[in-house]
């Protein structure tokens, strides 16, 4: 694609990177067919190619985006299905992150929209505050039915639509803080084979504390020492996806500093991540700090060590398996399959654990969770969830597995089939407790 940036514009490293990305796009449109919003809406402006044109235009023009451009970029899930499909290697993730940052800096959203996005960006990285908000949300949840359910314009949600989606997303039961999520070291049960840091995350600690608990049991049982490093926490993706790049980088720096202390101290073989959305972001820390001479090297070192828990477990191999003869529909989260390209490892482990594993039809399409998307674009999110659930139910599985807590909560809200994190099933098959969803 031809571009028309001035030399002064290209002096900005973020613009230079976007120009490089844009020049790779050959307008072929292959990506449209696998884009969930294009599949739903059939509008070129809601396809990757359409969004690429919008972002190119606003960046080249060095101007505020129009309301229409913002609407179509906002509808993007950041599922990265387009990156898997693109034959030209267009790095859409970096481009849309730049586009969102530009929108955040140059476009004045209506006040309710700003308040909602500001609230989400403030709460999501702070587990303690997020937990209190969830507890208040449980009290207010019965009021959700009094709020408007959906917008006639898909993706044209108002503040009240979003408030309803936010209340509906509040879980009916909320576990207390897990002792696992405090900084500490969990020794390997046998002779130590690896020493890893477990990324504690943020929202998962509140909504699914059982995932870190199962991960610690699974890893230590396989002779891996696990450290929950003081100072590590939110990866920054929840604020990055609403265009707040500076806040995302501040969170990333905190993690990098914390893990580097550990790397330079007792050493780490890997940084284990069990929420694939966070994994995609941490693996990209090197690119995030590519233009920062002070942090670049450390960011690259951390990114190289970042691994999904399934990658580490496949290296080690499962031991002492008690086969569980259940049929598992494996939902590959977008961030797992498109973001990290971790595709076969979780399925291989589940098969090694004795499960019968089935792929979900239309598995490349997002389930509609996509972080804050579930709240900010409730109508599109619900349609994608319902489509995902119908595809899963067509398999008639005993249980659904996924490697991202957000997908798990979202899919669970639309089906009666039990759903668990992949590590919970692996933990159960190797001596841990039965996942709560199956009891
Ligand atoms: S990231 Fe997903 S929703 Fe966004 S343009 Fe690409 S395929 Fe479409
Ligand atoms: S598939 Fe790649 S090259 Fe083709 S239009 Fe989409 S982003 Fe551009």
Region of poorest pLDDT, from 80-84, 135-139, 284-288, 403-407: 135-139
Give residue ranges with CB within 6 A of ligand 2: 25-31, 48-49, 82, 85-86, 88, 90
Tens of pLDDT, residue by residue over 398-412, are 999 999 999 999 999
Percentage of the chain exceeding pLDDT 90: 83
What is the H or E stretch that residue 380 is in? helix 378-393
Radius of gyration of the CA atoms of the chain, in A? 21
Q: Is 60 exceeded by the pLDDT of residue 371?
A: yes
Instruction: Give the residue whose CA is nearest to atom 8 of ligand 2.
Output: 25
Give residue 158 CA to ligand 2 midpoint distance, Å: 32
pLDDT > 70? residue 155? no
pLDDT reported for residue 168: 86
Q: What percent of the chain has pLDDT over 70?
A: 98
User: For residue 91, how far is its CA from the centre of ligand 1 (angstroms)?
Assistant: 12
DSSP 8-class letter at 64: P
Q: How much is the pLDDT for 21?
A: 98
pLDDT band at 151 (very low <50, low <70, confident <90, very high): low
Q: Best substitution site from 35, 69, 75, 381 to test ligand 1's pocket, by max atoms within 8 Å of Cβ?
A: 35
Whether the pLDDT of residue 30 is over 90: the answer is: yes
Q: How far is CA 362 from CA 35, 384, 390, 392, 422, in A?
A: 11, 11, 10, 9, 20
pLDDT at 97: 95
Q: pLDDT tier at 215 (50, 70, 90 boundaries)? A: very high
For 75-224, where are the alpha helices, taking DSSP H only?
81-85, 92-106, 111-123, 127-140, 159-168, 203-207, 209-221
pLDDT at 154 over 60: no
Q: 3-class SS at 195?
A: strand
- Identify which of 36, 31, 32 has the alpha carbon closest to the alpha carbon of residue 386: 36
**Cα–ligand 2 centroid distance for 313 (angstroms):** 35
Q: What is the largest CA-CA distance in the chain?
A: 63
Q: What average pLDDT score do residues 4-31 get?
A: 96
Of 217, 214, 211, whose CA–CA distance to 186 is shortest?
A: 217
3-state DSSP assignment of residue 236 = coil
- Report the distance separating Cα 55 and Cα 50, nearest Å: 9
Q: Looking at residue 142, what is its pLDDT?
A: 86
Closest CA to 391 of 418, 419, 362, 417: 362
* Atom from ligand 2 closest to the CA of residue 1: 8
83 lines ligand 1 (CB under 6 A): no
- Residue 367 exposure: Cα atoms within 13 Å on the Cβ side: 30
- What is d(CA 231, CA 216) in angstroms, rounded to the nearest whole number? 18
Q: 72-86, 159-173, 273-287 — which is least confidently predicted?
A: 159-173
Dist. CA 201–CA 210, nearest whole Å: 13
Whether residue 415 is predicted with pLDDT greater than 90 in this model: the reply is: yes
As a dihedral over the C-alpha atoms of residue 230, residue 231, residue 232, residue 236, rounded to 10 degrees, the angle is 170
Q: Which residues contact 168 (CB under 8 A, 6 or more apart)?
A: 141, 144, 413
Residue 228 has a CB neighbour count (10 Å cut-off) of: 18
- Ligand 2: centre distance to CA 32 (Å): 8
How many angstroms separate the CA atoms of 67 and 244, rounded?
A: 19
How far is 153 from 131, CA to CA, in rounded Å?
32
Mean pLDDT of 359-373: 95
User: Does 92 sit in the ligand 1 pocket, CB within 6 Å?
Assistant: yes
User: Is residue 232 in contact with ligand 1, taking CB distance under 6 Å?
Assistant: no
Task: Give the tokens for residue 141.
Answer: 């949840």
The length of the chain, given as a count of residues: 439
Domains in the chain: ranges and CATH:
7-106 (1.10.1060.10), 111-168 (no CATH), 179-313 (3.40.50), 320-438 (3.40.50.1860)
In short, whether 229's Cβ falls inside 6 Å of ligand 1 is no
pLDDT at 369: 93
Neighbour count for residue 432 (Cβ, 10 Å)? 17
Atom 8 of ligand 1 has which residue's CA nearest to it? 35
Q: Whose CA is nearest to atom 4 of ligand 1?
A: 76
Query: For 77-127, what is each residue's pLDDT tens digit?
Result: 999 999 999 999 999 999 999 999 999 999 999 998 898 899 889 998 999
């Amino acid at each position: 694609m031809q571009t028309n940036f001035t030399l002064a514009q290209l002096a900005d490293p973020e613009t230079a990177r976007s120009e490089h990305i844009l020049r790779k796009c050959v307008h072929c449109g292959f990506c449209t067919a696998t884009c969930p919003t294009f599949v739903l809406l059939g509008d070129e402006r809601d396809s990757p190619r359409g969004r690429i044109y919008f972002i190119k235009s606003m960046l080249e023009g060095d101007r505020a985006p129009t309301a229409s451009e913002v609407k179509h970029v906002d509808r993007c899930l950041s599922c990265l299905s387009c990156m898997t499909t693109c034959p030209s290697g267009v790095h859409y993730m970096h481009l849309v992150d730049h586009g969102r940052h530009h929108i955040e800096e140059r476009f004045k959203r209506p006040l309710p929209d700003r308040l909602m996005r500001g609230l989400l960006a403030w709460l999501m990285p702070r587990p303690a505050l997020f937990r209190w908000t969830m507890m208040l949300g449980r009290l207010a949840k019965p009021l959700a039915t009094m709020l408007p359910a959906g917008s006639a314009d898909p993706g044209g949600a108002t503040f009240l639509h979003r408030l309803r989606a936010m209340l509906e997303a509040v879980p009916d039961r909320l576990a207390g803080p897990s002792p696992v999520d405090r900084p500490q070291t969990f020794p390997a049960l046998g002779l130590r084979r690896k020493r890893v840091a477990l990324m504690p995350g943020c929202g998962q600690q509140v909504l699914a504390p059982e995932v870190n608990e199962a991960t610690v049991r699974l890893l230590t049982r396989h002779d891996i020492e696990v450290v929950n490093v003081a100072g590590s926490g939110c990866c920054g993706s929840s604020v990055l996806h609403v265009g707040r790049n500076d806040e995302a980088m501040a969170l990333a720096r905190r993690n990098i500093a914390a893990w580097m202390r550990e790397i330079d101290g007792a050493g780490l073989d890997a940084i284990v991540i069990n929420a694939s959305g966070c994994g995609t972001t941490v693996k990209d820390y090197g690119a995030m700090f590519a233009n920062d001479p002070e942090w670049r090297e450390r960011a690259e070192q951390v990114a190289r060590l970042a691994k999904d828990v399934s990658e580490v477990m496949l290296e080690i191999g499962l031991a002492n398996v008690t086969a569980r003869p259940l049929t598992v529909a494996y939902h590959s989260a977008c961030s797992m399959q498109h973001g990290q390209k971790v595709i076969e490892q979780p399925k291989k482990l589940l098969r090694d654990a004795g499960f019968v594993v089935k792929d979900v039809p239309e598995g490349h399409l997002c389930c509609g969770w996509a972080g804050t998307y579930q709240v900010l674009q409730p109508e599109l999110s619900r349609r994608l969830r319902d489509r995902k659930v119908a595809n899963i139910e067509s398999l008639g599985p005993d249980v659904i597995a996924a490697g991202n807590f957000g997908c798990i909560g979202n899919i669970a809200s639309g089906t009666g089939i039990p759903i668990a994190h992949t590590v919970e099933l692996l933990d159960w098959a190797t001596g841990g407790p039965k996942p709560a969803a199956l009891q």
